[in-house]
Chain A
Amino acid sequence: MRRAKPNDRPPDVPRRVRNELEIVLGQRKLLQRLVPGLMHAFIFWGFLVLFPTIVMAMIAAVDKHTELPWLGHQTWFGWMVDLFVVLVLVGVGAAVYIRKVVRPPRFQGSHSGDADFILFMIAGVVTTLLCWHAAAHAAGLNDHVGPLSAALAKAFPSHGLEERVFVWAHLAFVLGFLRYLPYSKHLHIATAAVNVWLARTSRPGRLEPLRFDVPDDELRFGTATIFDLTRKEVMDGFSCTECGRCQDACPAWATGKVLSPKLLIMGVRDQVLAQSTEPILGNGVPEQMIWDCVTCGACVEACPVSIEHIDHIVDLRRSRVMVDSQFPAEAEPMLRDVERAGNPWGKPQTERAAWAEELGVRVLEPGDRPPEYLYWVGCAASFDERAKKSAESTAKLLQQAGVDFAILGPREACTGDPARRMGNEYVFQAYAEQNVATLREQRVRKIVASCPHCFNTLANEYGDFGGSFEVLHHTELLAELVRDGRLQPKADAKPITYHDSCYLARHNDVRMEPRELVAAVGQPIEMKRSGKQTFCCGAGGAHMWMEEAGKPINAERAREAIDTGAETLAVACPFCTVMLDDGVRETGSPMRVADVSTLLAESME
């Protein structure tokens, strides 16, 4: 831990306190799944409430007539103890039922012996506590017990021997558990709260930049061995309880890829525990794991202890790409084209504004008056035939609503997002600096972006490179225009299901605006996985330009959309458009895939 690299994160204390209250005390992430969530919450809250009883037992073990000042004399506390002993036992029972009867696949690869022993210990701790209270009551040593202890006391004789037996049995369980704890996944009772505190307070879509302007001994090119890990990354490993919620949410795992976010974190942790000097990839973590990731963030969203899996994966990729130059060969043309041509398909930059010519969209020249909104078109909507429709629709709608906007045309370059997510931080930073310089030169203040990936980079990541802009996604601006009556669409009866893009819904919490638009043009139907629980289209994390082994993610998602019975699948991302359109065609379904902006533009005509 001491050798780990520092994380460059702002103090942001109020937000961290709120995280502790919500995620730790309130168990918010755990309660995303009701039954396992309650199971854990009962045990956890029980642990908090029953904590003073450990001190009480230690005092009583030495002198059975001495009690903890004040609290030891409160009958309401005796009632609380009874209540939470029951709740903890219910929790343990539920846990055993989940693990032994339900056996959800999320536990695949977890250490189940460890879990069984821990559950046994927890049950032992609270059962002996209850018996101790009952025996003490029977011996006339404790008048402040709850009704359950009082009832149970009838089963004990009054001479007090049982009281001695159970107080020591209780302490034996407690101390034995404490001894076992540091070597088990149950260490999380000490580390989880710390990990939640350390978690990023910015939007989850922001990656932390590598700094290349520091002295050589502080330089970091991502992660090769455990000695390159950041403090948070080390802490992540020690916080993991192997609960598998991340694995359950992972689109790569769901489609039979090698990646399991859980096994990845366990692999990193095992390397740290072994103090291994070997590279993490190929030892703790199979190489293929890091390339399977679509950086959708479902794992991070699901994790009850705020583990940030994407950071590990991107750091491992950074080292592979920037130091070893080893990565899936098919991604090479994309990286080269981003670097040389300014867009991932190697199209001529001069053709970037071709889609806008007929519409008469203003193209900013150096020295021009800044528009109210700069429309950041992005490479996909500039060059891809299917995605272009969204740019055309958005531009038309902005014109209809009388919004003052302009585009950068050939001077807009790739934001660097695919290179960054692939691990090529150099190329990303070069583009970040260049684009920020162009935007500042044009005195741009507000940006509306068509692509959620551009949107995320502009809004969350360019701040690290001197670019602070007010950034909206086009669905946000269009929803505002509809709300203000500046656009008046006509809704019809066609059922539409909306697919949340990961980089909008999960990474940036943009969920309501696209839905407002869908509701304004048709009849919304929700898919099973939506909002922050959305399921990736398969293109994130540079996977738009990579080959997929096994079952395709886009087919899985397309099937879910078709199953809603909707005629139209609305999307808000050019990559989702292409991936899901492909996925739907594959099935032969007549479902239409279209950007929300296109549906809105059509409803105006």
Chain B
Amino acid sequence: MSVLLFVEPDDDLSLQALTFARSLGDVKAVSVDGPYAPAAWAAAIAGAAGDADAIVAAGSDRGNELLAHVSARLDQPFAANVTALDGDVVTRIRWGGSLLEQARLHGEPKLLTVAPHTQPAAEAVPVEQLALPADADTSVRVLETVSESSGGISLRDAKVVVSGGRGVGSSEAFAIIEELAELLGGAVGCSRVVTSAGWRPHTDQVGQTGTKISADLYVACGISGATQHIAGAKGAKKILAINSDPEAPILASADYAVIGDLHEIVPAVSAELRRVRSS
């Protein structure tokens, strides 16, 4: 089987896709010159297909977008996030990783992307640079890349997030939350109720309609834990809940819990941290 593989420079997922492609047969690795322009790049890749039996890319946002364009251009079916190909049966990941589906992939050449983190990365290989076709459609292309400004610790990247909910009681009472966050070198978060009440800005909101965090430790103080909130906090490695209600839904998701009044517990923890550090 001959495989045409699209590779992005310095991209681990592309190297994982290379491992997969090698398991299928002979691999020709290609990339495209110039700024990213999905329709034009897809035209270049489709043009280089020749008599390849399969066109493969990493299952990244870019890989999936490109192969979707290639699929439309060649009028062939495309399977995304594939973990195995056996004859014409693909195994692919669906529903955010909760389901493996086997499906028959017809079409010639076979178009597929490789599910991220399902293969070990291969050693880099020489990559052939494809030129854009003369009539390439570059109406959608990358003009400029802007990196996010980094003022303070962002909620999304913070290693520790200390968050307050309705139980905190007022915007002034958030002082104890802020204090603990500062001592732990983390960011302050809050629940939707708190932003609705105007105690904190929406940028502090953790949850499905706010920021999804990926901290090592999430401290949820006086947060009952609506599903919307948990959806934003589930990326945290450990969740510590401080809540006076032993029936609060958050306890179902918490790794550790303290049942009690946060207005006593949080200052006590801060005081203890100070004491330990000063001694």
Residues in A neighbouring B146, C-beta threshold 8 A:
none
> How far apart are the CA atoms of A545 and B202 in the complex, in Å?
15
Q: Does chain A have a CB within 8 A of B171?
A: no
Interface residue ranges of B186-205 to A (CB < 8 Å): 192-193, 195-196, 202
> How far apart are the CA atoms of A595 and B153 in the complex, in Å?
42
In the complex, the answer to whether B96 meets A547 with C-beta atoms within 8 Å is: no
Complex partner residue of A340 from B96, B196, B210, B224, CB under 8 angstroms: B96
Q: Does chain B have a CB within 8 A of A73?
A: no
Complex partner residue of A546 from B193, B196, B209, CB under 8 angstroms: B209
Given A383-B227, A586-B193, A342 contacting B98 (CB threshold 8 A): yes
Which of A345-353, A494-502, A559-567 contacts the other chain? Answer: A345-353
Interface residue ranges of B24-80 to A (CB < 8 Å): none
> How far apart are the CA atoms of A570 and B231 in the complex, in Å?
27
In the complex, the answer to whether B196 meets A552 with C-beta atoms within 8 Å is: yes
In the complex, the answer to whether A341 meets B95 with C-beta atoms within 8 Å is: yes
Question: What does the 1/0 interface line of B90-130 toward A look like (CB < 8 Å)?
Answer: 00000111110000000000000000000000000000000
> How far apart are the CA atoms of A547 and B201 in the complex, in Å?
13
Q: Does chain A have a CB within 8 A of B159?
A: no
Q: Does chain B have a CB within 8 A of A333?
A: yes
In the complex, the answer to whether A386 meets B98 with C-beta atoms within 8 Å is: no
In the complex, the answer to whether B193 meets A346 with C-beta atoms within 8 Å is: no
Complex partner residue of A345 from B95, B193, B195, B228, CB under 8 angstroms: B228
Tell me the nearest residue of chain B to A344, going by C-beta.
Answer: B208
Q: Does chain A have a CB within 8 A of B249?
A: yes
Q: In angstroms, how far is the closest chain A Cβ from the Cβ of B191?
A: 10
Given A385-B252, A386-B249, A552-B196, A350 contacting B227 (CB threshold 8 A): no
Q: Does chain B have a CB within 8 A of A337?
A: yes
Question: What does the 1/0 interface line of A585-605 toward B look like (CB < 8 Å)?
Answer: 110000000000000000000
Q: In angstroms, how far is the closest chain B Cβ from the Cβ of A430?
A: 12
Q: Does chain B have a CB within 8 A of A384?
A: yes
In the complex, the answer to whether A333 meets B209 with C-beta atoms within 8 Å is: yes
Q: Does chain B have a CB within 8 A of A548?
A: yes
In the complex, the answer to whether B98 meets A341 with C-beta atoms within 8 Å is: yes
Given A385-B249, A548-B196, A582-B193, A346 contacting B166 (CB threshold 8 A): no
Q: Does chain B have a CB within 8 A of A217?
A: no
> How far apart are the CA atoms of A578 and B99 in the complex, in Å?
28
Residues in A neighbouring B209, C-beta threshold 8 A:
330-331, 333-334, 545-547
Residues in A neighbouring B195, C-beta threshold 8 A:
547
In the complex, the answer to whether B99 meets A545 with C-beta atoms within 8 Å is: no
Residues in A neighbouring B225, C-beta threshold 8 A:
385
In the complex, the answer to whether B227 meets A384 with C-beta atoms within 8 Å is: yes
Residues in A neighbouring B95, C-beta threshold 8 A:
340-342, 349, 413
Tell me the nearest residue of chain A to B252, going by C-beta.
Answer: A385
Residues in A neighbouring B98, C-beta threshold 8 A:
341-342, 348-350, 410
Interface residue ranges of B212-271 to A (CB < 8 Å): 212, 224-228, 230-231, 249, 252
Determine chain B's interface SS by DSSP, over half rule: helix
Interface size class of B (residues with CB under 8 A): 20 to 34
Interface residue ranges of B151-192 to A (CB < 8 Å): 166, 192
Complex partner residue of A334 from B166, B196, B208, CB under 8 angstroms: B208
> How far apart are the CA atoms of A326 and B209 in the complex, in Å?
16
Complex partner residue of B166 from A340, A342, A586, CB under 8 angstroms: A586
Tell me the nearest residue of chain B to A386, going by C-beta.
Answer: B249
Q: In angstroms, how far is the closest chain B Cβ from the Cβ of A570?
A: 19
Complex partner residue of B97 from A331, A345, A348, CB under 8 angstroms: A348
> How far apart are the CA atoms of A471 and B99 in the complex, in Å?
28
> How far apart are the CA atoms of A552 and B209 in the complex, in Å?
16
Q: In angstroms, how far is the closest chain A Cβ from the Cβ of B154?
A: 17
Residues in B neighbouring A586, C-beta threshold 8 A:
166, 193
Tell me the nearest residue of chain A to B96, going by C-beta.
Answer: A341
Complex partner residue of B208 from A345, A350, A552, A578, CB under 8 angstroms: A345
> How far apart are the CA atoms of A52 and B95 in the complex, in Å?
67
Tell me the nearest residue of chain A to B208, going by C-beta.
Answer: A333
Q: In angstroms, how far is the closest chain B Cβ from the Cβ of A383?
A: 6
Q: In angstroms, how far is the closest chain A Cβ from the Cβ of B278?
A: 39
> How far apart are the CA atoms of A585 and B196 in the complex, in Å?
14
> How far apart are the CA atoms of A547 and B202 in the complex, in Å?
10
Q: In angstroms, how far is the closest chain A Cβ from the Cβ of B98?
A: 4
> How far apart are the CA atoms of A136 and B192 in the complex, in Å?
74
Given A385-B225, A547-B209, A552-B196, A346 contacting B231 (CB threshold 8 A): yes
In the complex, the answer to whether B231 meets A345 with C-beta atoms within 8 Å is: yes
> How far apart are the CA atoms of A384 and B178 in the complex, in Å?
29
Tell me the nearest residue of chain A to B227, going by C-beta.
Answer: A384
In the complex, the answer to whether A545 meets B228 with C-beta atoms within 8 Å is: yes
Tell me the nearest residue of chain A to B226, going by C-beta.
Answer: A578
Tell me the nearest residue of chain A to B225, going by C-beta.
Answer: A385
Q: In angstroms, how far is the closest chain B Cβ from the Cβ of A441?
A: 15
Residues in B neighbouring A413, C-beta threshold 8 A:
95
Question: What does the 1/0 interface line of A339-365 toward B look like (CB < 8 Å)?
Answer: 011100111111000000000000000
> How far apart are the CA atoms of A386 and B209 in the complex, in Å?
19
In the complex, the answer to whether A582 meets B226 with C-beta atoms within 8 Å is: yes
> How far apart are the CA atoms of A345 and B228 in the complex, in Å?
7
Residues in B neighbouring A545, C-beta threshold 8 A:
208-209, 228
> How far apart are the CA atoms of A333 and B227 in the complex, in Å?
13
Tell me the nearest residue of chain A to B195, going by C-beta.
Answer: A547
> How far apart are the CA atoms of A410 and B100 in the complex, in Å?
12
Residues in B neighbouring A546, C-beta threshold 8 A:
209
Residues in A neighbouring B99, C-beta threshold 8 A:
342, 349-350, 410
Residues in B neighbouring A347, C-beta threshold 8 A:
231
Tell me the nearest residue of chain A to B197, going by C-beta.
Answer: A586
Question: What does the 1/0 interface line of A405-442 toward B look like (CB < 8 Å)?
Answer: 00000100100000000000000000000000000000
Tell me the nearest residue of chain A to B251, going by C-beta.
Answer: A385
> How far apart are the CA atoms of A542 and B193 in the complex, in Å?
18
Complex partner residue of B231 from A333, A340, A385, CB under 8 angstroms: A333
In the complex, the answer to whether A333 meets B212 with C-beta atoms within 8 Å is: yes
Residues in B neighbouring A348, C-beta threshold 8 A:
96-98
Tell me the nearest residue of chain B to A329, going by C-beta.
Answer: B209
Residues in A neighbouring B226, C-beta threshold 8 A:
384, 386, 578, 582
Interface residue ranges of A460-509 to B (CB < 8 Å): none
Residues in A neighbouring B193, C-beta threshold 8 A:
582, 586
Tell me the nearest residue of chain B to A342, going by C-beta.
Answer: B95
> How far apart are the CA atoms of A582 and B228 in the complex, in Å?
13
In the complex, the answer to whether A385 meets B96 with C-beta atoms within 8 Å is: no
> How far apart are the CA atoms of A346 and B235 in the complex, in Å?
12
Residues in A neighbouring B224, C-beta threshold 8 A:
585
> How far apart are the CA atoms of A544 and B249 in the complex, in Å?
18
Q: In angstroms, how far is the closest chain A Cβ from the Cβ of B68?
A: 14
Residues in B neighbouring A552, C-beta threshold 8 A:
196
Given A340-B95, A342-B95, A548-B196, A585 contacting B166 (CB threshold 8 A): yes
> How far apart are the CA atoms of A502 and B115 in the complex, in Å?
42
In the complex, the answer to whether A385 meets B227 with C-beta atoms within 8 Å is: yes
> How far apart are the CA atoms of A547 and B191 in the complex, in Å?
12
Residues in A neighbouring B192, C-beta threshold 8 A:
547
Tell me the nearest residue of chain B to A341, going by C-beta.
Answer: B96
> How far apart are the CA atoms of A349 and B224 in the complex, in Å?
24
> How far apart are the CA atoms of A383 and B224 in the complex, in Å?
15
Tell me the nearest residue of chain B to A551, going by C-beta.
Answer: B196
Sampled A-B contacts (6; CB under 8 Å): A330-B210, A350-B98, A385-B227, A410-B98, A544-B228, A582-B226
| 10 closest Cβ pairs, A-B complex | A385-B249, A330-B209, A341-B96, A349-B98, A348-B98, A384-B227, A342-B95, A345-B231, A340-B96, A350-B98
Taking beta carbons and an 8 Å cutoff, which residues of A are in contact with B?
330-331, 333-334, 337, 340-342, 345-350, 380, 383-386, 410, 413, 544-548, 552, 578, 582, 585-586
Given contacts A341-B96, A347-B231, A582-B193, 12 further A-B contacts (CB under 8 A): A330-B208, A342-B99, A345-B208, A348-B97, A348-B98, A350-B98, A386-B249, A413-B95, A547-B202, A547-B209, A585-B224, A586-B166
